[in-house]
Structure formats: structure tokens, C-alpha cells
Structure 1
Amino acid sequence: MNPVIQKVTDRIIARSSKSRAIYLERLEQARQQGPHRGVLSCGNLAHGFAACSASDKADLRSLTKANIGIISSYNDMLSAHQPYQTYPDIIKKAVNEIGSVAQFAGGVPAMCDGVTQGQPGMELSLLSRDIIAMSAAVGLSHNMFDGGLMLGICDKIVPGLLMAALSFGHLPFVFVPAGPMPSGIPNKEKARVRQLYAEGKVGKEELLEAEAASYHSAGTCTFYGTANSNQLVVEMMGLHLPGSSFVNPNTPLRDELTKAAARQVTRLTALGNDYLPIGKLVDAKAIVNGIVGLLATGGSTNHTMHLIAVARSAGFIVNWDDFAELSDATPLLTRIYPNGQADINHFQYAGGMAYLMRTLLDAGLLHEDVQTIAGPGLRRYTQVPVLQDGKLVWVDGPEQSSDDDVLTSVDKPFKAHGGLQVLSGNVGRSVMKTSSLRPGTEIVKAPAVVFHSQHELDAAFKAGELDKDCVVVVRFQGPKACGMPELHKLTPPLGVLQDKGFKVALVTDGRMSGASGKVPAAIHVTPEALDGGNIARINNGDMLLVDGESGKLEVLVDAKEFAARPVAVADMAPNLYGMGREMFGAMRQQLTGAEQGACSLFITEEHLHG
């Protein structure tokens, strides 16, 4: 085992010893009450199966057959979730065929950052993760289920579903993907048209045509943003069936994988001999495996919050220093847009998860001795699913990549470093995605230009006020200020400035999209401006150092003067209402800092330590 990976894992285990013990004790208390339908009154149980068929009623009355709860993020507006429309019927039939029952337990909201980008609704995006977790918990709270199937894909949905599942950690859960849409126009062409639009060289009709040719059918967006990072991380953690993450929707293989997932969760319930609750499957090794997979592929920086919140949901305390050390030890093995021109389908064709798992396992960069929903040991995930004579089987995956420009080996990495840097200094702590940066752009020292919203920056860009070397500071975008919206809308104008030859960087207490990375961006700055963080003390013209190599984020002014400056204030009133935002005010105030997972739920130290 790589000594750094082992050291970080051991440190997480030691740091979390008390909180993990409390979590496991609560898990065991819940397990001892099952099967849970046995504690329901006759009236409770009758309500729970009233709409079932006669045979399902008989099975549920017997208390000897598994009942699987389905939680789904289906809606037909969002391409990634539209395929889930048919899944409940597929799942119920597959479960019935092996003598068990499945019920649709509940739906969860699923919003799309791509639709809300730059709009007021984006301020609900991060908050939706905790709403999704709570919504799933409501669906599972009826005490009718022996296990669950989680149907979710995109940005906040999978982390929210995973947090909910861990709150019911005494039950087994299998996560069920729906797959990416087929490739559209090349990502490089889409990015080119976006930048031309930002420069005023093409109109809205040309831009819309390019976007529609990229996002063109059912399935996940094909770039390597948070949605596809979710799928990769969940498979790395052993919560998907091997090789199931990136099979396209509406294909025979996709349907057979869904049926197999439904059958598999029934085998893991406490009613059988292979009981595997998710709270025990997701241990420190599984969490570290997920982080390593993320870093090896240059995945979404949103997971520097999501995986921390997920870990705390299982009683583990993870911080950004863990991410940084793991990144130092993990080579970058993929070139998927925005870290390259290929899309997730090209990654799949090059060898996909099976080859990625193989090269990381062979190099000792993943913990092999873990539990998975497919059985003990992560080596099982070097196999790929195929149909042979109409039947689903797994065969050994490739031993070499078929496209070294998209997916390479640990012996020949694209970069020795995993593409994530933690920055710290007198501004605070932040993270930077370095995997997508062009050589020579990692370090920027330039005067600050300060804004209190992305819209102010957009106006200044259009007025030509940013045609210079500068570090753009966009503050009051943190969790408590306005829900920490993604600021991906800033990428095209800042990219234009960079292409003009200016040295430019971004510093913000907000987020950037998983599809960002061209411009050096110190994001998730904590403490945030609204909490009195030093980002609120930066003035226009201050010399700022953003150093993605040595990990520095500093205002180069006299320390005493900087400390004596008043903290800037901003009028947040316009962010507190409209598009439903007024209903989330109390929730915003409960959000922890970015490094603590930006969570409003139950992951405080007090909860973890009882």
C-alpha cells in the first residue's frame, strides 16, 4: 500500500475514533430491531401495503421476504434523470421474480446547475443537497424496508442520497446509475463558441445551437463535471455494480444492470446470510478510495465539500489537508473535459472504470481489502459487464488503455500530482483545481479587483475595465451569504482575458462548476465574507498572490494594517427572496463552512460525539 495513502487513512481513523464508534453503536441498535415491519402495529402494516397486489401483501405479512424501498430523483425536464421514469417497473419485476417485494418509497427533488447557472435559482443548489437527504429520509422513515435502491445522478443528488442512506446505516443500499448521453459536438467546439459569444463575435442563436448540439438527448452531460464525478466516486466506494457507471441509457446492457442491482440488494439484507449494511461498507478505506479516484481523474472540486459531509454522516472527520496529501500521492490519469478534450464516453471506450481501478490497485493507491455491494475486495471492479446470449455476465477488463491520450497508467501519468491544491494564507483557506490549468498559469501575483456579485464582474468585463493583469475577488458568495452558488458563468470572460495574454486569477468564497478549471481559481474561501473572513478585508488595488504550486493565498500588505481594516459589508437583501429563496433563510444560517461540508444537517462535532 502506498505509504501516504495508508498514513492519511490511519489519521482519519484515529481522528474519528469516538465519532465512528458512536455511529456504529447507533447502527447496531437499529439493526437489533429488525426486520422492521415486525415492530409495526397491524394498522401501520395495513397502511403500508394497502395498494400492493395480493401476493405482495402476503409476502409482506410473512416478514420473511425482503421489501426494497426505491428512492428516485426522476423528473422529465432534466436529461440525466429522465431515464429513471421506467426504472421502478423494471426493479419491481426483477425483485418479484426472485420472491421479494419492491415499493416506490419516495421521490427527491433534482435541480440542474446547468439550467440555473447565473440565475437566482442557483442559490438553492447547494442547499438542495440537504433537502434531498431529508426527503429521502422521509421516504425511508415508514419502517417498511429491509434495503434500498438509490436512483440519482447529478451534482447534489448523489451526495444527498448517500447522506440519507448512511442515516439508515443499518440497511443495505445499492446506487443505480442511468448513464451518460451519447457524445454530441466536441467539448472544445462548445467552449470555443461560448468564448466567441463572451467576446461578442457570435450571437445568441449560434450559442444556443452549439449548446443544443452538446446537450442533446437523455442521459448525463458528457463532460467530467460533478455529475460524472459522482458516478465515478460511488463506484470507487463499491456502491455501484462493477462497470455500471458509464453505460448509456436506453440500451439492453443498461436495463440488465438495473435488474441486477435490484436483485443484488435483496441478497444483502438482514434476512439472508450476506447482510451488509451501508454503514459498515462505507468505512475510512472506502472514503479514501473515493477521494483517490476523484483526484486521479481531476474530478469536481464540489466533492471537497460533499465527501466531507458524506464522511461525517458515517462518523468520519475528513478535512482539506487529507485531500491535499492524497493529491500529492495520486497521479493524474485522465484527460476528460475540462481537463482535456475527450468526454466521459471516450473514457469508457478507452478502458473506463475497470482499467482505472486496475492501474490504481496495481500501484497500491487504492485499498483493495474493502467490502462492496458486489462482494469482498475491490479487485472485483476490474471486471466489465457484458451481455452474452442475452445474459449479463462480468468478464476481465482491459489490462491496457486503448487510448493513452484519454486514460493512462500510473507508470505514465499526465501529471504526478492529483490536480487539487489547498491554498492558505492571510486571506483564509481555499481549494484550487490545478489539473486543467495550462503550464505557466499556476501562479498569479496582481492587483485585486473586488466585486460583491458575479453580475458586477460581468458588467465590468463588458465595459473593458478588466483588460489588465488582475486577481478578481468575488465575495459574499459563501454558504451563509447566499447559499454558495456556482460561478461557472465567470469562466468565459476570465478565459477571454487569459487568452488576451493577461495574468488573471479568481478568488471567491463561492463555488465553481465541476466543468471549470482553465483559469486559476482559489474557491471555497473560508471563513466566508459574511462570517467576517479576511476576504472581506481586501481592497481594490491590493497586491494578491494566488500560488497553485506552493499553496499560498495572501494579500501582500502590511499585516497590522490588514488586521486593522474594517470588514466590508454587502447588501444581501436581493438574495433573500424570489425564486423560493425566502423559504431557505433559516437553513442558510445553519450551514457550516466549506471545509466542514457546507452542511445544515447533523454533522456538528456535538452530534458526532453524542
Structure 2
Amino acid sequence: MPLNPTVARVTENIIERSKPARQAYLERMKAARDKGPARGHLSCSGQAHAYAAMGEDKEALAKGSAGNLGIVTAYNDMLSAHQPFERFPDLIRRAAREAGGTAQVAGGVPAMCDGVTQGEPGMELSLFSRDVIALATSVAMSHNTFDAAVFLGVCDKIVPGLVIAAQAFGHLPIVFLPAGPMESGLGNEEKAKVRQQFAAGEVGREALMEAEMAAYHGPGTCTFYGTANTNQMLMEFMGLHLPGASFVNPNTPLRDALTVEGAKRALSLSDLGNDYRPVCDILDEKAFVNGIVGLNATGGSTNLLIHLVAMARAGGIILDWKDFSELSSVTPLLARVYPNGLADVNHFHAAGGLGYMIGELLSAGLLHDDTMTVGGQGLGLYTKEPVLEGDGVVWREGTRESLNDKILRPVADPFQPTGGLSRMAGSLGTAVMKVSAVAPERRLVEAPARVFSDQDAVKAAFKAGELEGDLVVVVRYQGPKANGMPELHSLTPILSILQGRGQKVALVTDGRMSGASGKVPAAIHVCPEAKDGGPIARLRDGDVIRVDAQAGVLQILTEGWEDRPLPEPDLSGNEFGLGRELFATFRQAVGAADSGASIFGGGA
């Protein structure tokens, strides 16, 4: 199938726009490769330090003839998604020895959970943790003793941070090894209903706790289609996972076999062999276009509109939110996974999952098939599914038909003809909305604003019965420079209640809303942010706002707002507590959301 003209045009625009930065990046990667495997360049003392604790692998390391695999892990046992990684280093070391190589844990990176910090001060460190992870990974890899690497991470900021760091070490092959989703528990719709009942005062905390524990009940990623599972989709569409690896449950024979195979594959791709496949060649402009198409086709997390921009810029590729919007206009929505539907990712995987989707999108000319991946040349390999054969894993042809059309649809009969994301622009600035879960009749709201400077004030107004009639709830001073750009997902139950009462409701904010954005239209990531003097800072209660996701419009309809003085907010409450004082430099250095909200100055 010929490539879709819009996909081709957007790709060419990205390539042209990125040429200077991309060329400079690739030249740096070539220089790094030309220096060759680094261990032999270390002093004898340096090598002795690096090998001192390696036991049976010492001799192989000292001789320098075997490939050495670096492991960067986001393991901790507070996060269900990352707890399974505790077992991975032993599996990887064994796999490396079987392949004639060695493996060492190069270092660990932090992994925080937005679900735990939601609505709490710690959430103000969440977005910044992505760049901390990139920095920590660079420190781990800086010993320069590795021929290849495997990166262990799943959740919201962890995978983007690891990808940014992988770009910095783009001369090496790096395979991302996921842990998989937890088995299905209490249905997402039932969980959301109890949350709304609690917000309305209809049930107590005991009932809420019981529902939450039934939903989040074991090791693995949360099963709704939020940022963590969107990350896993991207790693497959962009070729950094093995085919079909994303949604295999933890602690199963197939999961272990995929981990072993991933370690062996990473070693086989090093510059010591004949199949050199570095990250810099895998993550090209076409790979990022494939990722954006996957994001739209699955109705993925809005957080990736920030992360993909930052991930790309780390490799000299310049993405614009217009690229996302243009690709969304030709990408059909093929999946309904909560919050876009009732199914979870286990149901999605069983219905045909990513392999089926990739096959459908390739057949429609919506993906680049000629990309390099860790699985081999061409994205067509990712239509296959892994199965156990003996103690190992092999790939066979996946399903070419959806096994549940309430969850997965073909391109010829999608859930909607366009993707799950909409870009809006106008006098209020630029913003994005995840529309895949928003009913079409709710995508246009024109109503008076109620303006708040934090989400606690919204909750207080709700409890006081002040949020009446049609309204646009504006929550400002939530951008990266103001307070680290926290997610405001804890507002979802309140806004859903208002909507359920028949009110027309929208949210406008320079903060984030996450992959769990629900049925309420939310214009998020507003740029410029209030702290930067954006128009959102000048809004007042009663100003009429037009939020139109269909036409892509975000407009202030009240006249004279431009002449108002900029307020001088007191943001001192965001500066201390739970480590926030240590991130003052981040708040001062961070870029805008539409350029990736990064401290790395664009990365190119």
C-alpha cells in the first residue's frame, strides 16, 4: 500500500525542519562509534575497579573479547509496574553468559508513581523526574564500559527519560525490556463510579479503599490505557521492544523468555558483530512519525505530546504539535481501552493487540514499514506474536482479524475516522485535548470562566456548591515554570459529576491531565503558561471562553482582556517541602510544554 500523502508530507516536513540539528547529532554519534569499544582504553586500574565484583565473569571482561551489556533499571517495590524488575538482572546475566558475553547493572534510576502523588505536593516533581532519569541514566552509562545496553522501565516519566538518555548514547544498541501489565482486577468503570460516589459524599472512604485495592491488586502496570501503557505501545511502534513484548503479564514463562531474548538480542546488535543496530539509526524521523500515528490510533496519553517532543529533540529531531494534529486528521481510532472504553489492556492484547493494529495501519499506508528496529529491518515484523517453544521464544503470524470488535476495529470500520488528539489555538494560546473519550456533542463548550490558581480551590468551590450552570473551569499557574506542571487528574470526578448533572463543562489549564483524561473536555498544556505571562494569566471570573475541539479553537470572547495588568501571584507555596526546594533550578531552566518541557534546552 502506498504511503498516505499526509503521513509522507508530515514526515518530509519533520526531516527538512530537523536537518541541521539531526546532522550535528549523527556526526556526534559517528565520532562516538569510531572510538570503538571502550573497555580496552581504560587503564588497568580502571578496569580492575569495573570488574572487581564480577566473580565468574571477571576473566571474560578482562580479556575484552566478549560483549558487555549494561543494565539500567528503574526497579523499586513500591511501584507495582516496576516490582517485577527485581528478578530481571539475574535473568539478563544468565542470558549474556549463554550468548558468550557479560552483563552488569550499570545503575538505577528513580521511578515515581503519579497515582500515588496525584493531588499531593510530590506531584510537582513528577514531570521533572523525567529529566532526572535521563541524567541518572547518563551517569550510569558514563563509565563507558558497555557494548550494548538493556533499559528496564515502564511508567509515565521513566520510559521518556530513558529514551532521552538512550539518544545521548545513540551509538550503542539498546533494547527496552518491559515488565507487563498486572492481571485484570475490578473493572475500570466500576472503579470510576465509586470515585465519583466518594466525591459526591455518597460513599465513605472504606468503600473507596476497597474498590481501589480491588483494581490495583498485584505486580505489573496499571491496566487502564494511561501514560504507562501508552509508553509500551510507543516502544513497540518505534522498534525498541521485541515484537509483541509490551503486554505480556509479569512473572510468566513467556515474560521471562522475552527478557532473556531481549538481552541476547542487545548483545547481538553491538559493533562487535555483523549486525550493528544503534539507537541513533532506529530512532529516526520515520520512527517518531510511526509513534505519533500509534498514539492517535490507540487514543493514547496526552502526556506524550510533551514527552515525544523532548525524546525527539534529544536526537536532533524537531517535532511540532501541528505534526500531531495533522497526523490525527488521517489516523482512524482503532481501539477502545479505558478511559476510551470499558476494556483494559489485557482485553486489548487478547483481542489482537498491537500486532493487529500495526498490520491494519501498515495495510492502509499509515505507517513507515522501512524503519530499522531491534527486531530487524521493517515494522512488518511487529505484526507477529511471541510464543514459547521449549525454553525459548519464537514468533508466529498474529491475527489478521479483531477478536473483539468492541475493543479493536479495522481501518475500514474504525471507532472514529480521526485520531484521539486535537490541537487548539486562538487568543488564549495553544493547547491540546484528548478527544477519544469525549462525546462529539461535548467537544464544544462556550461558557463563563471560573478561574482558580490551584486544584484545591476548585474542590472547595465544588463542596460549597459554587460551580453552577455551564462553565469553563480555568486552573492556571500549573505550568512547568510555575510548579513543575502537575497532573490535575483528581479533578476528573468533580467535573464528571457536574457534567452528569447536565451542565456543559470544560477544563482549561496550563497543567497536565494525563493519560487518564476522561469524558470531560480538557484543554491542557496551555502555552504560553501563566507564569510566562500567557493570556491565561489575565483571565477573570465571568470571561466567556470558547473551547472547540472540533474546529481547533481556544478563544477568549470577552473584549478588553489584553489591557489588564499581569497579576503577581504568590507561588512560594510551591517552593518547599518534599524536595521541591531542590528543584528550583529546574523551574527556572525548563522550556515550554510545546517544546518538551525540558531542562536540556531542546536537546539539539
Deviations 1:147-180 (CA, angstroms, capped at 9, x unpaired): 1100000000000001001100100000000000
Q: 1: CA distance between counterparts of 2:392 and 2:151?
A: 24
Distance 1:601 1:128 in 2: 13
Q: Which residue of 2 aligns with 1:90?
A: 91
Is 1:461 the counterpart of 2:462? The answer is yes
In 1, distance between residues paired with 2:386 and 2:103?
A: 24
How big is the shift at 1:113?
0.1
SS of residue matched to 2:170: coil
1:601 aligned residue: 600
Relative distance call for 1:602 and 1:59 in structure 2 (3 A) is: farther
Query: Any residues of structure 2 matched to 1:75-224 within 5 Å, and which?
Result: 75-224=76-225
Structure 2 letter corresponding to 1:419 = G
Partner of residue 576, structure 1? 575
Q: Does 2:25 correspond to 1:23?
A: yes
Tell me the TM-score normalised to structure 1 length.
Answer: 0.98
Q: Read off the aligned partner of 1:567 and give its amino acid letter.
A: L
| SS of 1:409 mapped into structure 2 | coil
Deviations 1:176-220 (Å, cap 9, x if unpaired)? Answer: 000000000111100111111111100010011001100000000
The corresponding residue for 1:587 is: 586
Question: Percent identity over the alignment?
Answer: 57
Query: Aligned pair 1:567/2:566, yes or no?
Result: yes
Distance (Å, rounded) in 2 between the aligned partners of 1:424 and 1:602: 24
Tell me if structure 1 keeps the 8 A contact 2:431–2:523: yes
Query: Aligned-pair distance for 1:389?
Result: 3.6
User: C-alpha separation between the residues in 2 aligned to 1:60 and 1:94?
Assistant: 16
CA contact (8 A) 2:591 2:601 kept: no
2:290 — aligned with what?
289
Q: 2:52 maps to what in 1?
A: 50
Equivalent positions of 1:65-464 (< 5 A) are 65-464=66-465
Contact 1:33 1:39 (8 Å CA) reproduced:
no
SS in 1 for 2:447: strand
Match of 1:41 in 2: 43
Find the residue that maps to 2:307 and give its secondary structure.
helix
Residue 601 (structure 1) shift: 1.6
Note the alpha carbon deviations across 1:357-403, whole angstroms, 9 max, x for none: 11011111100001000110110001000113443111000010100
1:513-592 to structure 2, matched below 5 A, reads: 513-558=514-559, 561-592=560-591
Question: Contact 1:285/1:367 (CA < 8 Å) preserved in 2?
Answer: yes
8 Å CA contact 1:238, 1:378 repeated in 2: yes
Q: Distance between the aligned counterparts of 1:377 and 1:522, measured in 2?
A: 36
Count of aligned pairs: 602
Corresponding letter in the other structure for 2:574: N
AA of the residue aligned to 2:11: T
Q: Which runs of 5+ in 2 are unaligned?
A: none
What letter matches 1:481 in structure 2? A
What per-residue deviation string (whole Å, max 9, x for no partner) do you get for residues 126-147 of structure 1? 0000000000000000011011
Is the deviation greater in 491-500 or in 59-68?
59-68
Cα separation, partners in 2 of 1:557 and 1:602, compared to 1, 3 Å: closer
1:219-252 Cα shifts (integer Å, max 9, x gaps):
0000000000000011100100000000000100
Superposition deviation, residue 568 in structure 1: 2.2
CA distance in 1, matches of 2:600, 2:50: 28
- For the 8 Å contact 1:81–1:178, the answer to whether it is kept is yes
1:602 Cα deviation (Å)?
A: 4.4
Q: Partner residue of 2:502?
A: 501
| Counterpart-to-counterpart distance in 1, 2:99 and 2:23 | 36
1:14-50 per-position Cα deviation (integer Å, ceiling 9, x unaligned): 0000000000000001001111112211111111111
Verify the 8 A CA contact 1:350 1:402 in the aligned structure 2: yes
Deviating beyond 4 angstroms after TM superposition, the runs of 4 or more aligned structure 1 residues are: none
Asked if the contact 1:536–1:569 (Cα under 8 Å) also holds between the matched residues in 2, the reply is no
Instruction: Supply the AA of the counterpart residue of 1:7.
Output: R
TM-score for the superposition, normalised by structure 2: 0.99
Paired amino acid for 1:115: V
CA distance in 2, matches of 1:63, 1:376: 29
What is residue 6 of structure 2 aligned with on the other side?
A: 4
User: In structure 2, what is the Cα distance between the partners aligned to 1:448 and 1:149?
Assistant: 48
Q: Distance in 2 between matches of 1:390 and 1:32?
A: 38
* Aligned equivalents of 1:46, 1:305: Cα separation in 2: 42
Q: Which amino acid in structure 2 is aligned with residue 44 of structure 1?
A: G
Cα RMSD, aligned residues only = 0.8
